[in-house]
Structure 1
Amino acid sequence: MARMPHTRAAAHPRYEALLAEWNELLRRCQSTAAAQEDAPDPAPYGRELLDRWGEPQRRYHTLDHLSEVLTRTTELAAYAHDPDTVALAAWFHDAVYRPDRSENEQRSADLARRALAEAGVDADRTSEVVRLVLLTVIHDPAPGDADGEVLCDADLAVLAGDPASYAAYAAAVRDEYAFVPDADFRSGRAAVLRQLLDLPHLFRTPYGQDHWERTARRNLTTELELLEA
Protein backbone atom coordinates (compact mmCIF):
# COMPACT_ATOMS: atom_id res chain seq x y z
CA MET A 1 0.00 0.00 0.00
CA ALA A 2 3.02 2.31 -0.14
CA ARG A 3 2.41 5.75 -1.65
CA MET A 4 3.73 9.28 -1.26
CA PRO A 5 2.47 10.89 1.98
CA HIS A 6 0.30 14.01 1.92
CA THR A 7 1.41 16.68 4.38
CA ARG A 8 -2.23 17.84 4.45
CA ALA A 9 -3.25 14.61 6.17
CA ALA A 10 -0.42 14.68 8.71
CA ALA A 11 -1.33 18.26 9.64
CA HIS A 12 -4.87 17.32 10.61
CA PRO A 13 -5.42 17.85 14.36
CA ARG A 14 -6.79 14.32 14.81
CA TYR A 15 -4.17 12.56 12.68
CA GLU A 16 -2.33 10.85 15.54
CA ALA A 17 -5.55 9.95 17.38
CA LEU A 18 -7.04 8.46 14.22
CA LEU A 19 -3.86 6.51 13.53
CA ALA A 20 -3.88 5.11 17.07
CA GLU A 21 -7.56 4.18 16.68
CA TRP A 22 -6.80 2.37 13.42
CA ASN A 23 -3.85 0.51 14.93
CA GLU A 24 -5.98 -0.82 17.78
CA LEU A 25 -8.80 -1.77 15.42
CA LEU A 26 -6.62 -3.68 12.97
CA ARG A 27 -4.81 -5.53 15.75
CA ARG A 28 -8.17 -6.73 17.06
CA CYS A 29 -9.18 -7.84 13.57
CA GLN A 30 -6.02 -9.62 12.55
CA SER A 31 -6.62 -13.35 12.57
CA THR A 32 -5.18 -15.66 15.21
CA ALA A 33 -3.03 -17.33 12.56
CA ALA A 34 -1.63 -14.00 11.45
CA ALA A 35 -0.96 -12.98 15.05
CA GLN A 36 0.98 -16.17 15.62
CA GLU A 37 3.14 -15.43 12.60
CA ASP A 38 3.99 -11.85 13.48
CA ALA A 39 1.14 -10.04 11.81
CA PRO A 40 2.00 -6.95 9.77
CA ASP A 41 2.37 -3.66 11.60
CA PRO A 42 -0.96 -1.80 11.33
CA ALA A 43 0.63 1.67 11.19
CA PRO A 44 1.70 1.73 7.50
CA TYR A 45 -1.83 0.74 6.49
CA GLY A 46 -3.28 3.45 8.70
CA ARG A 47 -0.97 6.12 7.33
CA GLU A 48 -1.86 5.04 3.79
CA LEU A 49 -5.57 5.39 4.51
CA LEU A 50 -5.16 8.73 6.26
CA ASP A 51 -3.12 10.03 3.33
CA ARG A 52 -5.90 9.00 0.96
CA TRP A 53 -8.53 10.76 3.06
CA GLY A 54 -6.32 13.86 3.07
CA GLU A 55 -5.98 14.17 -0.71
CA PRO A 56 -6.31 17.73 -2.04
CA GLN A 57 -9.27 17.09 -4.37
CA ARG A 58 -11.52 16.36 -1.40
CA ARG A 59 -13.76 19.02 0.11
CA TYR A 60 -16.42 16.96 1.88
CA HIS A 61 -15.01 13.42 1.77
CA THR A 62 -12.15 14.44 4.04
CA LEU A 63 -10.52 13.34 7.27
CA ASP A 64 -13.27 15.27 9.06
CA HIS A 65 -15.87 13.08 7.36
CA LEU A 66 -13.94 9.92 8.23
CA SER A 67 -13.69 11.04 11.85
CA GLU A 68 -17.41 11.83 11.99
CA VAL A 69 -18.43 8.49 10.50
CA LEU A 70 -16.20 6.62 12.94
CA THR A 71 -17.74 8.57 15.83
CA ARG A 72 -21.23 7.68 14.60
CA THR A 73 -20.38 3.98 14.19
CA THR A 74 -19.26 3.99 17.82
CA GLU A 75 -22.46 5.78 18.82
CA LEU A 76 -24.50 3.11 17.02
CA ALA A 77 -22.32 0.13 18.01
CA ALA A 78 -25.04 -1.45 20.14
CA TYR A 79 -27.09 -2.06 16.98
CA ALA A 80 -24.26 -3.75 15.06
CA HIS A 81 -23.63 -7.47 14.79
CA ASP A 82 -19.86 -6.91 14.49
CA PRO A 83 -18.86 -3.33 15.37
CA ASP A 84 -15.21 -3.86 14.43
CA THR A 85 -16.12 -4.98 10.92
CA VAL A 86 -18.36 -1.92 10.56
CA ALA A 87 -15.47 0.27 11.71
CA LEU A 88 -13.14 -1.28 9.13
CA ALA A 89 -15.74 -0.58 6.45
CA ALA A 90 -15.99 3.03 7.64
CA TRP A 91 -12.24 3.43 7.18
CA PHE A 92 -12.42 2.13 3.62
CA HIS A 93 -15.81 3.36 2.40
CA ASP A 94 -14.44 6.46 0.63
CA ALA A 95 -10.75 5.62 0.73
CA VAL A 96 -10.66 5.99 -3.04
CA TYR A 97 -12.41 9.18 -4.06
CA ARG A 98 -12.26 11.18 -7.25
CA PRO A 99 -15.27 13.47 -7.78
CA ASP A 100 -14.98 13.02 -11.55
CA ARG A 101 -15.26 9.22 -11.34
CA SER A 102 -18.32 7.03 -10.75
CA GLU A 103 -16.66 3.86 -9.50
CA ASN A 104 -15.26 5.19 -6.22
CA GLU A 105 -17.07 2.68 -4.00
CA GLN A 106 -15.99 -0.24 -6.18
CA ARG A 107 -12.38 0.91 -6.14
CA SER A 108 -12.57 1.48 -2.37
CA ALA A 109 -13.94 -2.04 -1.94
CA ASP A 110 -11.15 -3.44 -4.11
CA LEU A 111 -8.60 -1.61 -1.98
CA ALA A 112 -10.14 -3.07 1.18
CA ARG A 113 -10.02 -6.58 -0.29
CA ARG A 114 -6.32 -6.29 -1.14
CA ALA A 115 -5.16 -4.41 1.94
CA LEU A 116 -7.01 -6.41 4.59
CA ALA A 117 -5.92 -9.75 3.15
CA GLU A 118 -2.33 -8.52 3.13
CA ALA A 119 -2.67 -7.18 6.67
CA GLY A 120 -3.77 -10.54 8.09
CA VAL A 121 -7.54 -10.12 8.31
CA ASP A 122 -9.38 -13.37 7.62
CA ALA A 123 -11.29 -13.92 4.39
CA ASP A 124 -14.79 -13.87 5.91
CA ARG A 125 -14.31 -10.53 7.64
CA THR A 126 -12.61 -9.07 4.59
CA SER A 127 -15.53 -10.13 2.38
CA GLU A 128 -17.98 -8.54 4.78
CA VAL A 129 -16.05 -5.26 4.76
CA VAL A 130 -16.13 -5.30 0.96
CA ARG A 131 -19.89 -5.91 1.00
CA LEU A 132 -20.47 -3.05 3.42
CA VAL A 133 -18.36 -0.61 1.42
CA LEU A 134 -20.36 -1.41 -1.72
CA LEU A 135 -23.57 -0.89 0.21
CA THR A 136 -22.76 2.81 0.52
CA VAL A 137 -23.48 3.22 -3.20
CA ILE A 138 -27.23 3.32 -2.51
CA HIS A 139 -27.51 3.34 1.31
CA ASP A 140 -30.36 0.83 1.19
CA PRO A 141 -29.50 -2.17 3.41
CA ALA A 142 -31.83 -5.13 3.43
CA PRO A 143 -34.10 -5.60 6.47
CA GLY A 144 -32.15 -7.32 9.22
CA ASP A 145 -28.74 -6.29 7.86
CA ALA A 146 -27.62 -4.87 11.19
CA ASP A 147 -24.08 -3.98 10.18
CA GLY A 148 -25.25 -2.42 6.93
CA GLU A 149 -27.81 -0.36 8.80
CA VAL A 150 -25.18 0.99 11.19
CA LEU A 151 -22.68 1.90 8.47
CA CYS A 152 -25.28 3.58 6.27
CA ASP A 153 -26.78 5.49 9.19
CA ALA A 154 -23.33 6.66 10.26
CA ASP A 155 -22.52 7.80 6.73
CA LEU A 156 -25.81 9.70 6.33
CA ALA A 157 -25.86 11.26 9.80
CA VAL A 158 -24.47 14.49 8.31
CA LEU A 159 -27.89 15.02 6.73
CA ALA A 160 -29.36 15.63 10.18
CA GLY A 161 -27.13 18.56 11.08
CA ASP A 162 -28.37 21.94 12.26
CA PRO A 163 -29.00 24.47 9.48
CA ALA A 164 -25.48 25.93 9.57
CA SER A 165 -23.81 22.52 9.58
CA TYR A 166 -26.00 21.26 6.77
CA ALA A 167 -25.30 24.38 4.71
CA ALA A 168 -21.55 23.84 5.21
CA TYR A 169 -21.94 20.21 4.11
CA ALA A 170 -23.87 21.18 0.98
CA ALA A 171 -21.30 23.86 0.14
CA ALA A 172 -18.45 21.37 0.54
CA VAL A 173 -20.19 18.95 -1.83
CA ARG A 174 -20.54 21.75 -4.38
CA ASP A 175 -16.84 22.60 -3.98
CA GLU A 176 -15.89 19.00 -4.75
CA TYR A 177 -17.80 19.30 -8.01
CA ALA A 178 -16.56 22.78 -8.89
CA PHE A 179 -15.65 21.51 -12.37
CA VAL A 180 -19.35 20.80 -13.10
CA PRO A 181 -21.38 23.71 -14.59
CA ASP A 182 -24.09 25.06 -12.30
CA ALA A 183 -27.04 23.79 -14.33
CA ASP A 184 -25.62 20.28 -14.55
CA PHE A 185 -24.75 20.22 -10.87
CA ARG A 186 -28.20 21.38 -9.82
CA SER A 187 -29.82 18.69 -11.96
CA GLY A 188 -27.54 15.91 -10.71
CA ARG A 189 -27.70 16.97 -7.09
CA ALA A 190 -31.49 17.22 -7.22
CA ALA A 191 -31.64 13.66 -8.54
CA VAL A 192 -29.52 12.44 -5.62
CA LEU A 193 -31.75 14.25 -3.13
CA ARG A 194 -34.90 12.78 -4.67
CA GLN A 195 -33.39 9.30 -4.51
CA LEU A 196 -32.72 9.75 -0.81
CA LEU A 197 -36.13 11.24 -0.09
CA ASP A 198 -37.80 8.33 -1.92
CA LEU A 199 -36.34 5.83 0.52
CA PRO A 200 -38.95 4.60 3.02
CA HIS A 201 -36.49 5.51 5.76
CA LEU A 202 -33.24 7.44 5.51
CA PHE A 203 -32.11 5.79 8.75
CA ARG A 204 -32.62 2.17 9.71
CA THR A 205 -31.45 1.93 13.31
CA PRO A 206 -33.98 2.89 15.99
CA TYR A 207 -31.65 5.65 17.16
CA GLY A 208 -31.27 7.09 13.68
CA GLN A 209 -35.00 7.03 13.06
CA ASP A 210 -35.77 8.66 16.41
CA HIS A 211 -33.04 11.30 16.41
CA TRP A 212 -32.12 12.06 12.79
CA GLU A 213 -34.90 11.14 10.36
CA ARG A 214 -37.16 14.18 10.67
CA THR A 215 -34.34 16.73 10.64
CA ALA A 216 -32.59 15.07 7.71
CA ARG A 217 -35.75 15.00 5.60
CA ARG A 218 -36.37 18.66 6.35
CA ASN A 219 -32.81 19.54 5.33
CA LEU A 220 -32.99 17.52 2.13
CA THR A 221 -36.37 18.98 1.19
CA THR A 222 -35.14 22.52 1.79
CA GLU A 223 -32.04 21.99 -0.34
CA LEU A 224 -34.12 20.43 -3.12
CA GLU A 225 -36.53 23.37 -3.09
CA LEU A 226 -33.61 25.81 -3.34
CA LEU A 227 -32.08 23.87 -6.24
CA GLU A 228 -35.37 23.84 -8.12
CA ALA A 229 -36.36 27.44 -7.38
Structure 2
Amino acid sequence: MIVHPDPPRAAYQEAHRRYHTQAHIDDCLARLAAVDGLGDRERDLLVQAIWWHDAVYDPLRPDNEARSADLAREALAAAEAPEADIAEVERLILLTKGHTVEAGDRLGALMVSIDLSILGAAPEAYAAYAQAIREEYAAVPEEIYRAGRARVLESFLAAPVLFPDPAFAKALDAQALRNLAAEIAELTRA
Protein backbone atom coordinates (compact mmCIF):
# COMPACT_ATOMS: atom_id res chain seq x y z
CA MET A 1 0.00 0.00 0.00
CA ILE A 2 1.20 3.49 -0.79
CA VAL A 3 2.46 5.87 1.89
CA HIS A 4 0.27 8.94 2.38
CA PRO A 5 2.13 12.22 2.80
CA ASP A 6 0.16 15.28 3.85
CA PRO A 7 -1.81 16.47 0.81
CA PRO A 8 -0.98 19.92 -0.60
CA ARG A 9 -4.15 21.56 0.76
CA ALA A 10 -2.68 25.07 0.91
CA ALA A 11 -2.00 25.06 -2.84
CA TYR A 12 -5.70 24.74 -3.57
CA GLN A 13 -6.43 27.87 -1.53
CA GLU A 14 -4.28 30.21 -3.67
CA ALA A 15 -6.06 33.46 -4.48
CA HIS A 16 -5.79 33.15 -8.27
CA ARG A 17 -7.63 29.81 -8.36
CA ARG A 18 -11.30 29.75 -9.22
CA TYR A 19 -11.84 26.24 -10.63
CA HIS A 20 -8.60 24.45 -9.70
CA THR A 21 -9.49 24.59 -6.00
CA GLN A 22 -10.17 22.18 -3.16
CA ALA A 23 -13.70 21.76 -4.59
CA HIS A 24 -12.20 20.29 -7.79
CA ILE A 25 -10.10 17.86 -5.75
CA ASP A 26 -13.10 16.92 -3.60
CA ASP A 27 -15.19 16.28 -6.71
CA CYS A 28 -12.44 14.12 -8.23
CA LEU A 29 -12.06 12.13 -5.01
CA ALA A 30 -15.84 11.60 -4.82
CA ARG A 31 -15.88 10.35 -8.40
CA LEU A 32 -13.04 7.96 -7.61
CA ALA A 33 -14.87 6.71 -4.52
CA ALA A 34 -17.78 5.67 -6.76
CA VAL A 35 -15.53 3.52 -9.00
CA ASP A 36 -15.80 -0.22 -8.38
CA GLY A 37 -13.28 -2.93 -9.05
CA LEU A 38 -10.08 -1.28 -7.83
CA GLY A 39 -7.61 -2.85 -5.47
CA ASP A 40 -6.39 -0.93 -2.43
CA ARG A 41 -3.05 -0.07 -4.05
CA GLU A 42 -4.70 1.10 -7.28
CA ARG A 43 -7.12 3.29 -5.37
CA ASP A 44 -4.31 4.70 -3.21
CA LEU A 45 -2.25 5.55 -6.29
CA LEU A 46 -5.19 7.39 -7.83
CA VAL A 47 -5.93 9.23 -4.57
CA GLN A 48 -2.35 10.48 -4.44
CA ALA A 49 -2.37 11.45 -8.12
CA ILE A 50 -5.64 13.34 -7.71
CA TRP A 51 -4.36 15.22 -4.66
CA TRP A 52 -1.14 16.27 -6.39
CA HIS A 53 -2.20 16.73 -10.04
CA ASP A 54 -3.00 20.44 -9.74
CA ALA A 55 -0.70 21.25 -6.80
CA VAL A 56 1.04 23.74 -9.08
CA TYR A 57 -1.35 25.84 -11.13
CA ASP A 58 -0.31 28.97 -12.97
CA PRO A 59 -2.58 29.47 -15.99
CA LEU A 60 0.19 31.26 -17.87
CA ARG A 61 2.75 28.43 -17.59
CA PRO A 62 2.89 25.28 -19.75
CA ASP A 63 4.61 23.09 -17.14
CA ASN A 64 2.10 22.86 -14.30
CA GLU A 65 1.70 19.10 -14.57
CA ALA A 66 5.46 18.48 -14.60
CA ARG A 67 5.96 20.78 -11.61
CA SER A 68 3.05 19.10 -9.78
CA ALA A 69 4.56 15.68 -10.51
CA ASP A 70 7.90 16.90 -9.13
CA LEU A 71 6.21 18.03 -5.91
CA ALA A 72 4.45 14.69 -5.61
CA ARG A 73 7.75 12.87 -6.11
CA GLU A 74 9.41 14.93 -3.38
CA ALA A 75 6.55 14.43 -0.90
CA LEU A 76 6.20 10.71 -1.56
CA ALA A 77 9.96 10.16 -1.40
CA ALA A 78 10.14 12.06 1.90
CA ALA A 79 7.37 9.78 3.20
CA GLU A 80 9.45 6.79 2.04
CA ALA A 81 6.95 5.54 -0.51
CA PRO A 82 8.21 2.75 -2.78
CA GLU A 83 9.84 3.99 -5.99
CA ALA A 84 7.32 2.08 -8.14
CA ASP A 85 4.45 3.92 -6.44
CA ILE A 86 6.16 7.29 -6.82
CA ALA A 87 6.75 6.66 -10.53
CA GLU A 88 3.13 5.62 -11.05
CA VAL A 89 1.75 8.71 -9.30
CA GLU A 90 4.03 10.87 -11.43
CA ARG A 91 2.87 9.11 -14.60
CA LEU A 92 -0.79 9.57 -13.71
CA ILE A 93 -0.29 13.26 -13.00
CA LEU A 94 1.52 13.78 -16.31
CA LEU A 95 -1.39 12.19 -18.19
CA THR A 96 -3.52 15.18 -17.19
CA LYS A 97 -1.52 17.42 -19.51
CA GLY A 98 -2.58 15.82 -22.79
CA HIS A 99 -5.51 13.76 -21.47
CA THR A 100 -4.67 10.76 -23.64
CA VAL A 101 -3.89 7.22 -22.53
CA GLU A 102 -2.78 4.00 -24.11
CA ALA A 103 -5.28 1.20 -24.63
CA GLY A 104 -5.50 -1.06 -21.60
CA ASP A 105 -4.30 1.60 -19.13
CA ARG A 106 -7.18 1.43 -16.67
CA LEU A 107 -5.65 3.69 -14.04
CA GLY A 108 -4.67 6.25 -16.66
CA ALA A 109 -8.15 6.09 -18.19
CA LEU A 110 -9.71 6.69 -14.78
CA MET A 111 -7.36 9.56 -13.95
CA VAL A 112 -8.03 11.37 -17.22
CA SER A 113 -11.77 10.70 -17.12
CA ILE A 114 -12.08 11.88 -13.53
CA ASP A 115 -10.08 15.04 -14.26
CA LEU A 116 -12.24 15.85 -17.30
CA SER A 117 -15.56 14.83 -15.76
CA ILE A 118 -16.65 18.47 -15.37
CA LEU A 119 -17.03 18.58 -19.16
CA GLY A 120 -20.03 16.28 -18.82
CA ALA A 121 -21.68 18.20 -15.99
CA ALA A 122 -25.20 19.61 -16.11
CA PRO A 123 -25.31 22.84 -18.15
CA GLU A 124 -25.47 25.13 -15.09
CA ALA A 125 -22.45 23.47 -13.45
CA TYR A 126 -20.57 23.53 -16.75
CA ALA A 127 -21.33 27.25 -17.17
CA ALA A 128 -19.96 27.91 -13.67
CA TYR A 129 -16.83 25.93 -14.56
CA ALA A 130 -16.35 27.87 -17.82
CA GLN A 131 -16.73 31.16 -15.94
CA ALA A 132 -14.23 30.05 -13.29
CA ILE A 133 -11.70 29.13 -15.98
CA ARG A 134 -12.13 32.57 -17.55
CA GLU A 135 -11.50 34.15 -14.16
CA GLU A 136 -8.31 32.12 -13.78
CA TYR A 137 -7.18 33.57 -17.12
CA ALA A 138 -8.18 37.13 -16.19
CA ALA A 139 -4.77 38.45 -17.29
CA VAL A 140 -5.39 37.26 -20.86
CA PRO A 141 -7.18 39.77 -23.13
CA GLU A 142 -10.69 38.70 -24.14
CA GLU A 143 -10.04 38.17 -27.85
CA ILE A 144 -6.93 36.08 -27.22
CA TYR A 145 -8.68 34.09 -24.49
CA ARG A 146 -11.70 33.32 -26.66
CA ALA A 147 -9.56 32.05 -29.55
CA GLY A 148 -7.31 29.99 -27.30
CA ARG A 149 -10.13 28.50 -25.27
CA ALA A 150 -12.04 27.60 -28.44
CA ARG A 151 -8.92 25.78 -29.74
CA VAL A 152 -8.62 23.80 -26.51
CA LEU A 153 -12.29 22.80 -26.58
CA GLU A 154 -12.11 21.89 -30.27
CA SER A 155 -9.16 19.62 -29.49
CA PHE A 156 -11.35 17.77 -26.99
CA LEU A 157 -14.04 17.35 -29.66
CA ALA A 158 -11.47 16.13 -32.18
CA ALA A 159 -9.99 13.53 -29.82
CA PRO A 160 -10.73 9.88 -30.65
CA VAL A 161 -12.29 9.58 -27.18
CA LEU A 162 -13.09 12.24 -24.64
CA PHE A 163 -13.40 9.98 -21.60
CA PRO A 164 -11.10 6.96 -21.98
CA ASP A 165 -12.80 5.05 -19.17
CA PRO A 166 -15.86 3.30 -20.67
CA ALA A 167 -18.13 3.92 -17.66
CA PHE A 168 -17.32 7.65 -17.66
CA ALA A 169 -17.80 7.77 -21.43
CA LYS A 170 -21.22 6.13 -21.17
CA ALA A 171 -22.33 8.47 -18.40
CA LEU A 172 -20.84 11.75 -19.61
CA ASP A 173 -20.08 11.78 -23.35
CA ALA A 174 -23.41 13.05 -24.66
CA GLN A 175 -23.66 15.96 -22.21
CA ALA A 176 -19.99 16.81 -22.63
CA LEU A 177 -20.38 17.07 -26.40
CA ARG A 178 -23.36 19.40 -25.93
CA ASN A 179 -21.47 21.53 -23.39
CA LEU A 180 -18.37 21.81 -25.54
CA ALA A 181 -20.33 22.69 -28.67
CA ALA A 182 -22.31 25.35 -26.80
CA GLU A 183 -19.21 26.97 -25.31
CA ILE A 184 -17.38 26.92 -28.65
CA ALA A 185 -20.38 28.61 -30.27
CA GLU A 186 -20.37 31.26 -27.57
CA LEU A 187 -16.62 31.83 -27.86
CA THR A 188 -16.59 32.10 -31.65
CA ARG A 189 -19.69 34.21 -32.23
CA ALA A 190 -18.99 37.71 -33.53
Query: Same-fold call, TM > 0.5?
Result: yes
Q: Which has the larger radius of gyration?
A: 1
Residue identity matched to 1:110: D
Instruction: Kindly report which structure 2 residues correspond to 1:15-34, keeping only aligned pairs within 5 A, or say none.
Output: 28-30=1-3
TM-score, length-normalised on structure 2?
0.94
The alignment status of 1:187 with 2:147, answered yes or no, reads yes
The alignment status of 1:135 with 2:108, answered yes or no, reads no
User: What secondary structure, in the 3-state scheme, does the structure 2 residue paired with 1:212 have?
Assistant: helix
CA distance in 1, matches of 2:100, 2:153: 14
CA distance in 1, matches of 2:70, 2:62: 14
CA distance in 1, matches of 2:149, 2:171: 25
User: What secondary structure, in the 3-state scheme, does the structure 2 residue paired with 1:113 have?
Assistant: helix
CA RMSD of aligned residues (A): 1.5
Residue identity matched to 1:29: I
Gaps of 5+ in 2: none
- Paired position in structure 1 for 2:17: 58
Contact 1:79/1:150 (CA < 8 Å) preserved in 2? no
The alignment status of 1:73 with 2:32, answered yes or no, reads yes
CA distance in 2, matches of 1:77, 1:159: 22
- Paired position in structure 2 for 1:198: 158
1:212 corresponds, among 138, 154, 172, to 172
Residue identity matched to 2:58: R
Render the CA deviation track for 1:135-160: whole Å, top value 9, x for unaligned: 00011111101100001111111111
Deviant stretches of 4+, over 2 Å = 76-81
User: What secondary structure, in the 3-state scheme, does the structure 2 residue paired with 1:87 have?
Assistant: helix
CA distance in 1, matches of 2:103, 2:139: 38
**Aligned length in residues:** 188
The alignment status of 1:87 with 2:60, answered yes or no, reads no
Residue identity matched to 1:67: D
Render the CA deviation track for 1:72-92: whole Å, top value 9, x for unaligned: 122224367812101110001
The alignment status of 1:102 with 2:62, answered yes or no, reads yes
Render the CA deviation track for 1:84-128: whole Å, top value 9, x for unaligned: 101110001000111221110010001011110101211000000
User: What secondary structure, in the 3-state scheme, does the structure 2 residue paired with 1:132 have?
Assistant: helix
Residue identity matched to 2:23: D
The alignment status of 1:175 with 2:148, answered yes or no, reads no
CA distance in 1, matches of 2:166, 2:150: 27
Residue identity matched to 2:9: L
Give the share of equivalent positions with the same residue, in percent.
41
CA distance in 1, matches of 2:38, 2:170: 14
C-alpha change, 1:149 and 1:79, in structure 2 (3 Å) is: farther
The alignment status of 1:159 with 2:124, answered yes or no, reads no
Gaps of 5+ in 1: 1-27, 31-40
User: What secondary structure, in the 3-state scheme, does the structure 2 residue paired with 1:183 have?
Assistant: helix
